[in-house]
Amino acid sequence: MSRRLAGAVVAVVGTGGLGREIAAVLRERGATVVTAGRGDGEVRLDIRDPEAGDALVAHARTVHGRLDGVVVASGVVAFGTLEETDHVVVEELFLTNAIGPLWLAQRVLPALRESRGFLAALSGVVAASPMPGMVAYSASKAALAAGLAALRREVRRAGVSVCDVQPPHTETGLATRPLAGTAPRMPEGLTPRTVAERVVVAIEGDEALVTADGLLTGQTFSDQRISGVTPASRNRL
């Protein structure tokens, strides 16, 4: 299946490094983008609000008449061993990275069923390769990835696509803004542009999963399964 983005109305939740770049690539493909975030964006929302998706749908429908896709590019990170990590930080990671995106999906899916649209979200390499020193972050991203994989099967018959993108470390500055702890030294990450372009190609190609290795090698998940190439990812986040 290939999805044309020209003329589509796509909401991007999260106005950080990856959200901004994904919005830019979507616009280059001819999509109309609705930006949404806590501090800026056309729609002000907090993904920790169970009803946040309603504002997104209402805005898209009122201003553009439809909603064809949602990209979830919001998230928070924290570093430190589990024993060092305050329980409030653990809760916050799950609320923002896993529970919030699922709440949002619940609210936007009726509109996406109508448009036979798509939902894409950024989990992260840690969903597949959980890291010591990032236990709660890894667990929150693995929870999101599991939710997206199951949701994809739940809504496939309705013509709605669900895509999980698992980037390795990307140079957006996320690691310098943790809820707690300090980032370990990391090798140079990918550019936000590289990740954003891959996210959009995955949406256009109705890909279920973009792995970190797929992002580093340019392979699709099916290519990797066919060739058996699934090396351990080098970069973490």
Ligand X SMILES: NC(=O)c1ccc[n+]([C@@H]2O[C@H](COP(=O)([O-])OP(=O)(O)OC[C@H]3O[C@@H](n4cnc5c(N)ncnc54)[C@H](OP(=O)(O)O)[C@@H]3O)[C@@H](O)[C@H]2O)c1
Pick the binder of ligand X from 129, 170, 220, 233 (CB under 6 A). 170
CA torsion through residues 199, 195, 35, 162, sign = positive
Residue 136 binds ligand X, judged by CB under 6 A:
no
Neighbours of 114 (CB within 10 A): 14
DSSP string of 120-189, one letter each residue? EEE--HHHHS--TTBHHHHHHHHHHHHHHHHHHHHHGGGT-EEEEE----BSSSGGGS-SSS-PPP----
Residue 53 binds ligand X, judged by CB under 6 A:
no
Residue 151 binds ligand X, judged by CB under 6 A:
no
Residue 46 binds ligand X, judged by CB under 6 A:
yes
Kind and range of the H or E run holding 110:
helix 100-115
Distance CA 8, CA 30 (A): 8
Pick the binder of ligand X from 17, 69, 117, 133 (CB under 6 A). 17
Q: Which is nearer to ligand X, 114 or 146 (CB)?
A: 146
Pick the binder of ligand X from 3, 29, 38, 61 (CB under 6 A). 38
Stretch that binds ligand X, among 102-110, 149-157, 170-178, 221-229 (CB under 6 A): 170-178
Pick the binder of ligand X from 172, 211, 220, 233 (CB under 6 A). 172
Residue 130 binds ligand X, judged by CB under 6 A:
no
Residue 162 binds ligand X, judged by CB under 6 A:
no
Distance CA 142, CA 125 (A): 9
Distance CA 49, CA 64 (A): 24
Contact positions vs ligand X (CB under 6 A): 14-19, 37-39, 46-48, 73-77, 96, 122, 124, 167, 169-170, 172-174, 177, 189, 237
